[in-house]
Amino acid sequence: MTGRIPLVLCAFVFALATVAAAQDLRFPARVEAGTAFSIPTTGSGEATLYVVGPGDAIARKVHLGEEIEFEADDLHNAGHYLAILTGSSSVSTQFDVVPSRQPASLSFLAKPSRLAVNRPDGISGVTYIFDIFGNLLLKPEDVSFQLSDATGGTQLRNASSHEGVAWVQMNSAPKAGPAHFQATLSGVHATRIVEEVPGDPCSIHMTARPASSGRVLLQTDPVRDCNGNPVPDGTIVSFTETHDGRVSTVDVPLKRSVAQTELPAASGATISVAAGVVLGNEIRWGGR
């Protein structure tokens, strides 16, 4: 009787070991997204493998003792996963799916989409780097940023990504027009258009000459910003006439960079012109 106890104990331990072996689950600690791999199983019989994470959920019937094959498109969302093998009992393990090594797309945000010329660091470009499965690529990458303005001028800057994001700031060009802002990494491009528009008028000058019916015709020279860019049509120019203590103002939009209007030709009147905060010349009509 006493001789049987060790034998029973050995059988029990062996049975436990068999169950443990059957439920062994050895995933690699890291799997690259979109790669095929296989994991061995031991034991015999049927079981179900569940792979669960925020990025995916998979159930697979498996034959214990055979390898479990994962195809390239089975696991492609990077993240932390839990694998559970359920059969006669249950075992689990954890592993990571890491992003693919190759960048495949850039999420590129250029701001603002429209700004005045000649603004230092006025344009920002931020790009997030993704692999083909839309996973954020966290390893450092060198991203090239290029801003080409309407006259062919180019600014080039490089930035290393940190935790999947790279960013730069660029100057707006002296000349107005659409600028192409491009981010490039390993043959992957993303381009945005930034509209560089003239700044505020730099100066304003008008001339006056008699018009019909006792009026005076006022006309500005072409209105430009301080870099020589024509100020956009529609910009308001104000003509103000002061005579005998009475003030009358006419607001006129620029048309082909020029504003013109007629005012009563009152002898001795003072006429001034302004656009925004820029004050132009003053004319005294009918006087000296």
Least distance in Å: CB of 78 to other proteins?
5
**Angstrom distance (rounded) from CA 161 to CA 209:** 63
Is the separation of the CB atoms in 132 and 160 below 8 Å? no
Q: Strands (DSSP E) along 77-162, which ranges?
A: 79-86, 90-98, 105-111, 114-116, 123-130, 142-148, 154-160
Residue closer to other proteins by CB (options 119, 243) is 119
Least distance in Å: CB of 55 to other proteins?
6
Least distance in Å: CB of 94 to other proteins?
6
Residue closer to other proteins by CB (options 112, 286) is 112
Is the separation of the CB atoms in 161 and 129 below 8 Å? yes
Residue closer to other proteins by CB (options 49, 223) is 49
167 part of the interface to other proteins, by CB under 8 A: yes
**Angstrom distance (rounded) from CA 46 to CA 41:** 11
Q: Is 35 helix (H, G, I), strand (E, B) or coil?
A: coil
135 part of the interface to other proteins, by CB under 8 A: yes
Residues 112-131, interacting with other proteins (CB under 8 A): 112, 124, 126, 128
| φ/ψ (deg, to 5) at 5 | -60, -50
Binding mask 84-103 for other proteins (x = CB under 8 A): x-x---x-x-x-x-x-----
Report helix, strand and coil shares of the chain as percent, to nearest 5: 5, 55, 40
Is the separation of the CB atoms in 252 and 200 below 8 Å? no
Q: Given candidates 24, 42, 58, 272, which one binds other proteins under the rule CB under 8 A?
A: 58
Residue 120: what residue type?
P
200 part of the interface to other proteins, by CB under 8 A: no
**Angstrom distance (rounded) from CA 169 to CA 224:** 27
Q: Given candidates 162, 189, 255, 284, which one binds other proteins under the rule CB under 8 A?
A: 162
Residue closer to other proteins by CB (options 96, 221) is 96
Q: Given candidates 164, 198, 201, 280, which one binds other proteins under the rule CB under 8 A?
A: 164
Residues at the site binding other proteins, with contacts judged by CB under 8 A: 29-30, 50, 52-59, 77-80, 82, 84, 86, 90, 92, 94, 96, 98, 109, 111-112, 124, 126, 128, 134-136, 138, 162-165, 167, 169
